[in-house]
Structure 1
């Protein structure tokens, strides 16, 4: 395909990150484009999903790209292979995927469709891929003919190529990303419009995809949103579909999620039954081919509609009482009204439970289900025992923008059933999503939350909830910490910085996931500051690892650090020795009474400019070792004195060599803690006059501040070395 002018992020021939050469554009949506490219190192063809420039700096879209990248953990022949996200120098973000060559089911549909024999092979293969995703708690939510490719045209080599739910943000493109729906109208399951999405949602979409490909045309849903929603609630007409393909689709396309296949494994089992192909040894389903002509002839058996269900075995029922003669029945309503009034005055509930409730139909099993996804309201289905509870649940569904299909019935349930179910429903309301099933007196819940407090309270509820006699509660609540925005961590770091700037190390572009480590480096004023920083990060980390690599300085050092920008090193080494012996001290630790000797070692590459060497101690004093009034020359060229290579310049001497121009000092107990040797380099002199040999850290910091704000002189490099002054033992 030729590149289209002006409407694409990249052009044919572009080379991305010195690796991927663009060869063709494969498709374009509202938020991204897909290109075919070749890895110029390996020669391998790949597909690149490129986030459009206007979305490349929006965190929510970056999070979606990151989530799609995580599909690389799924290794299955029916799921396209994902690699990783990249960012170009000009800010474009793209995801690398395997390139799959072949027609899509949409191409097949537009060409007139496919026969059932081949579609069963496709269905088996895609169901296996979806099952691999579902086992990792990933729901596609947007399956349709355009994102299933038949590799090299082979139905047995079908590949799902797109797990992105934000393919197009434009309403006119029929792919919506909003607060209530993600998916294509024509192929989405009915519950998806209310925000529900689980494995059964994908099963419906796969069924509709197979049906559309068989018919050779997209489903017709009506001319308006209201008409479309009404169509979705109805059973799909399959009268034109031959058996047994129609029976398979009927189970996949039932409007009620509870009546559909509950897992892709059930689809695989049914295809095995239909085709008579036994599963291969060690595999979950049969082979990828069918006996020729298995579905070649239309069936004389009428195709079921998708809401038809097998009739349960008939049970012996008691004979019905004969109807009353017409003349006597006219007195019954008035008599019942009188009896009801009397009963309400002397035990109304007893009368209701023994007389009126006994007239309700018997539900066996007695089942109520309630589901709610991350978006949308709850979906309630099943039976309840009282009108009061029915009214309450209808109001709940209406209030929360949900839906319900409830009816009154009686069953073998505890008297406290309504109270128990209501309390559990109230508890799970706090979850991001939940699935609740009440089967007789057994209540099972599952769900997830991104709130640690909600997780703790629900776990406590599961352990300690007091339910009426005979009622049982079980379930699983998953705590899934949300993506932690980098900006939120950065704000904490800036607040905690008390000794120069702290840096975030390699922050992820889309925010911190649960497996990411929050890494901080820099300088802090002491252990308390580091503990405060750790506590602040822990309050938002939600179980993520925290790594803080900082130098702990004294307050005086922090005053100076605050005026020194993030300068590069000149490669100047600060070497330490013991004055009494001349032996090197690589640890930098000196004890009370010892005499530190300090050499500044110039690298061979440093031939000119000026050096400023100071030591800042824990008392807040700054000692200027070079230059000072007794030793004014700090020119690098003069300090070298014609020597080439690495040259040591002594700035603190052994006590035995002390003189007016040779500073020496001893460690006493007033200096215990960390001191720091600072070596600054500049192309021209920093100060117009000499600094005193000793001054306060605040005074030196103010002098540096004036230099930085003056704009005439630039400090271009900084090297340093910490000294630890201690008491022996």
Structure 2
């Protein structure tokens, strides 16, 4: 739990809607906070998720909350139950959900390894819950130990929470946060880093978090985004995991989605049968027609259990099934055969009697960032097979239902002809409602665009009619588009395109590397998402240093001056050894040297350190060291001249500043070295001052254009 603050949305004791009394703040997030509250009528505990004030009037975030509320339709004990959204009189929007009493899986992770037996139980429980969500086309996208709570501490009562960035994969639905990456790097599936997500991504994340809890430590996936991308394409190391958990995790976390279990049914079948992949699948069931269609009479007395449409089970091998199991298998074959005969029209007069639907909708989609898909209705099995083959060729998926509708007799031929025409586009979407069609897409080929636009602006094939809307895109990404985003997201000094694209911009496979400083990890993620939205398939690496708010304040006021050959070196005051990392522990004595390059012989050097607490210490000039001209500092020496500005504590004397690391102020401090052609300030600055006072003084002198170079380095203070 977190401590409440005066500016929080709710305070302990507040009563919402005359019903829910706030008892505790459970946690804070980037856009919302979560509280525990008690229903004063029933005494039942609930969790309250409230949008922060700055987002409560934003329609985009209100859509987020509404979509999360809609997940209440997923009914399973392993999925947190949502209630409804409400708004306070002050305009704050909050969402009610079940409060789950018990430790989070992240807490168990901190406590150490869990047993393979408990983790198999946990995997089965969570998989059952996710199956219920996946059956409604909801993908979680953010599975990690902190999103699973063990009710009463029992793995068999695990509950999945926080569907805040869940994705609705129904045809035509938009994801809550778009198609871009969502989730946590440590547990995200490899395809999520490039914006591709489906049920198999949840399978990967579940496997990865189970492996982490088996080991009792979070995965080590790399120190920077490039390492993350590289490591994500490697299989996870399960060498020390006992069977059958090892084989389960290997199949769940295969880097290539096609090599994983393809749905939660397969995961559950594997667990139930102790790792035997040859078990009779529960998925070999013909799906009944939609509720609105008449139900045909079954061929046998056996009753097929309802289940989602999936592929048939593998044929049982001789000698591996008991007699009873063979009877069950035979019943399924009879049911499947009877249903296939009914759907094929063999009963009656030979004409297919598929259920009627209105409207008769089919959407065939091939976007750039997610796999191709075909979803909707088709008039016969032949078209279903042909479309499935086409989507397989594109690495995509299908969800097609045989049905009848108000379409022309040549509909299948007409649609497939249009499909042949649009496939060469870079991205495209063919949406049909009955005989009315809509083509949208983009291409870098101007001749293809002109040809298709001319063709489909006139007569369409057969009985189809419709519209076409195509855009011409460039093979290159204009660097100015990236600069525009960098200016928008810069919150801690300038951001730079480090790999300097050519005059026409970034090529089709040229990575985008951004360097600079940002205020928070959320800033990094937001910038990454924004650039990936325009980057197509290019790799985006944000190699930005995260500074604290005080450092960022000064960063925004520092003069816009180039760096120079001036060096800033760190060493340990006790041992004299150099500390290249700039990292010092509590009680250590940092010594700081500034090295004047050989070519620098005129001007003035000012050295300050901005402490993590927001205090600026002026190392030079100061009252004990007034003369900071380069000529005086050289003292007649030529070449490179080292200049000590922070001393060992045993050399502390007048004009010599020395300090040790204090545990009360840990984090990042910044050394600032300014070379100016005249004294930087009109009067001597005090030995210490606030960051605000320093930045105001810098702003006053910036207009005089005094500064010729600016060099900085970060000093890190840490507990251990």
Q: Does 1 or 2 have the higher relative contact order (CA < 8 Å, sep 6+)?
A: 1
With the length of structure 1 as denominator, give the TM-score of the two structures. 0.39
How does the TM-score come out when normalised to structure 2?
0.40
Largest Rg, 1 or 2: 1
